[in-house]
Amino acid sequence: MGSSPSKQAQSDAQKSLTRLSKVSEKHFYPDTATPDLATLPQLQSLPDIDGLDLNGDNNEKDIANLLSEWRANFLDSPKNRLALAALSRSDYQSLLIQDDRYNDQNPAVFTHVIKYDGQKDTPVTNQRSSGRCWLFASTNVFRVQLIKSSAIKPKDFQFSQAYLFFYDKLEKASYFLEQIIDTADEDLDSRLVQELLKAPVNDGGQWDMVVNLVEKYGLVPQDVFPDSWNAQNSGHLNYLLTNKLREYGLALRKLIQTEKPTPELLLSLRRQYTQNVYNILATSLGVPPAANETFKWDYWTIDGKPQQVTTTPIKFYRDNLKHPASQYFSLINDPRNDYKQLYTVDRLQNISGGRPITYVNADISELKKAAIKMIQNNEPVFFGSDVGQFGDRATGILDPKSWDYDLGFNTSLGMNKEQRVSTGASSMTHAMVITGVHLEDGVPVKWKIENSWGADTGKKGYFQMSDKWFDEYVFQVVSSAQYVPRELQQVLKTKPNVLPLWDPMGALA
């Protein structure tokens, strides 16, 4: 979003110019006349980071000739010597952690918490060594709907994440082969083809991919299709599938480029290759019921009575979710691009012909407003964030104040959200569920988070997110139309702006 420079920005640029004008011209232009620095906008806009001394004689080209001076300057500081002794012998984050976070935010107090909060009513989930967070987050959201509409005992219930995981892998494999066929005329080393080949059956996903899966395959209880070892530890399975699909992809590209096969032959090969993927998945994860295959399930009711239901995955989904997944959509906060616009990512999909992955880009305040309304209406909130930033797994606190880098390293991190996304420093990496919010005078201060890393992390599996962390590292909130302004609802009806497959908004949580 372009705009003219503010007076403050112009003042800052002038200060930078003044500082730079003091630097001896011999260091920058030894063989030419001194240039007019006003013609060098890249120098005018140089930010003052870490107290740079532009007057010092620090322009020796060979770093090796500067090392003795740098070493002496470093060791001359008692603080640096203490930091060296402490931080070089342990995880520096554990030493630089800021304990005042606990004083600012009592982890036990929230003004609004949904009724079926998993910390006391439902089992804490654990994705273990897999990238299935989006499937855990979505099924944890669906679980609340089922509990509301049935007599199932909440403490015993989970949807099967492995069931959706199986069909997501299968459909992604088929979609990958379709895209390889469609891009056969592209060079193998083109950015598009390389991006397709990078991770054809990534564990991760997006909300619209969840919608595609449950609308086509439904849902089953975890008792019907429990986790296998490979569901909980997906690395070896992904290695096998990824390399097998790359092999298939190369074979299809060679066939198309040399023999011009018919569409019927290509479809037949695609189906056979996908069947081989099915066999690998069935061997590794087990054989799940088909979407319309009948299964029986025994369960306990809230009042302690045994019950049995005979149904199908599709019927189980439709009977137990009052609000279908398809009624919800993604609000995102991407400050690189214009707000109140619809975005999609080229060729990002899990099911061929399925609902496209789309996002309504909005100011971060709109994401918060929607989330608060949902919590107040007793609805959990699926959201996507960059959980690796300033997050403490042991305490479960997500806060930009988590570590004091300046204390240990005499420096701090100064990029804003737009700059982090633009440089690859931040993107949506993890999906979780918001189950509570603490408001002071109607303004959010902190948020209660249901994670899927087991009960041994955070506070019995739950995390606490500061509102400032929400500003900086939350990218997505999934909402239905009733919780957002009409203006944003109308954006869904517009033609989406298409981002390339390698765009940060194409990251799979």
- Distance, CA of 134 to CA of 333 (rounded, Å): 18
Q: Which of 84, 106, 134 is the last residue of a domain?
A: 84
Q: Residue 172 corresponds to which tokens in the numbers above?
A: 């992604």
Is 168 in the same domain as 278? Answer: yes
Residue 113 is assigned to a structural domain of this protein: no
H or E stretch including 430? strand 430-440
Is 124 in the same domain as 76? Answer: no
Is 122 in the same domain as 79? Answer: no
Q: Residue 126 corresponds to which tokens in the numbers above?
A: 């654990």
- Distance, CA of 127 to CA of 88 (rounded, Å): 32
Q: In this structure, are residues 192 and 249 in contact, taking their beta carbons and an 8 Å threshold?
A: no
H or E stretch including 175? helix 161-182
What pTM was estimated for this model as a whole?
0.89
- Residue corresponding to tokens 């009052």: 322
Separation in Å, CA 237 to CA 126, 166, 202, 374, 418: 19, 11, 11, 37, 35
pLDDT of residue 58: 62
In one-letter notation, the amino acid at residue 501 is L
Residue 465 phi, psi dihedral angles, 5° rounding: -110, 125
| 410: alpha, beta or left? (left if phi > 0; alpha if psi -120 to 50) | left
Is 72 in the same domain as 128? Answer: no
Is 301 in the same domain as 354? Answer: yes
pLDDT of residue 13: 36
Residue 418 is assigned to a structural domain of this protein: yes
Kindly write down the DSSP assignment for every residue of 33-92, as one continuous string.
PPP-GGG-HHHHT----TT--TTSS---S-GGGGHHHHHHHHHT-HHHHHHHHHHTTS-H
Q: In this structure, are residues 204 and 131 in contact, taking their beta carbons and an 8 Å threshold?
A: yes
Residue 393 is assigned to a structural domain of this protein: yes
In one-letter notation, the amino acid at residue 311 is T
For residue 282, give the CATH number of its domain: 3.90.70.10
Is 299 in the same domain as 446? Answer: yes
- Residue corresponding to tokens 């959200």: 417
Is 181 in the same domain as 227? Answer: yes
Looking at the annotation, which residues are catalytic? 133, 430, 451
pLDDT of residue 98: 86
H or E stretch including 214? helix 207-217
Is 66 in the same domain as 142? Answer: no
Q: In this structure, are residues 122 and 157 in contact, taking their beta carbons and an 8 Å threshold?
A: yes
Is 22 in the same domain as 148? Answer: no
pLDDT of residue 52: 67
pLDDT of residue 44: 57
- Distance, CA of 442 to CA of 439 (rounded, Å): 5
- Distance, CA of 347 to CA of 356 (rounded, Å): 9
Closest CA to 471 of 280, 301, 300, 335: 335
Buried b (16+ CB within 10 A) or exposed e, 8-18: eeeebbeebbe
pLDDT of residue 121: 76
Q: Residue 378 corresponds to which tokens in the numbers above?
A: 């007793």
Three-state DSSP string of 475-489: EEEEEEHHHCCHHHH
Residue 177 is assigned to a structural domain of this protein: yes
Q: Which of 36, 65, 84 is the last residue of a domain?
A: 84
Domain count, the chain: 2
For the chain, state the CA radius of gyration: 27
- Domain of residue 148, residue span: 118-506
Residue 230 is assigned to a structural domain of this protein: yes
Is 77 in the same domain as 140? Answer: no
Q: Residue 138 corresponds to which tokens in the numbers above?
A: 């979505």
pLDDT tens, N- to C-terminus, the chain (509 residues): 434 334 344 344 334 323 333 333 333 333 434 444 444 445 556 677 776 666 656 666 689 989 999 999 999 999 999 999 999 999 998 899 887 655 455 667 999 999 887 666 789 999 999 999 999 999 999 999 999 888 898 888 999 999 999 999 999 999 999 999 999 999 999 999 999 999 999 999 999 999 999 999 999 999 999 999 999 999 999 999 999 999 999 999 999 999 999 999 999 999 999 999 999 999 999 999 999 999 999 999 989 999 999 999 999 999 999 899 999 999 999 999 999 999 999 999 999 999 999 999 999 999 999 999 999 999 999 999 999 999 999 999 999 999 999 999 999 999 999 999 999 999 999 999 999 999 999 999 999 999 999 999 999 999 999 999 999 999 999 999 999 999 999 999 999 999 999 999 999 98
- Distance, CA of 399 to CA of 105 (rounded, Å): 10
- Residue corresponding to tokens 């007019």: 36
Q: Which of 58, 84, 110 is the last residue of a domain?
A: 84
The 3-state DSSP composition of the chain as helix, strand, coil percent (nearest 5) reads 45, 15, 40
Closest CA to 280 of 173, 391, 381: 173
Residue 94 is assigned to a structural domain of this protein: no
pLDDT of residue 1: 43
Is 68 in the same domain as 131? Answer: no
pLDDT of residue 14: 37
- Distance, CA of 132 to CA of 169 (rounded, Å): 11
Residue 104 is assigned to a structural domain of this protein: no
Is 378 in the same domain as 443? Answer: yes
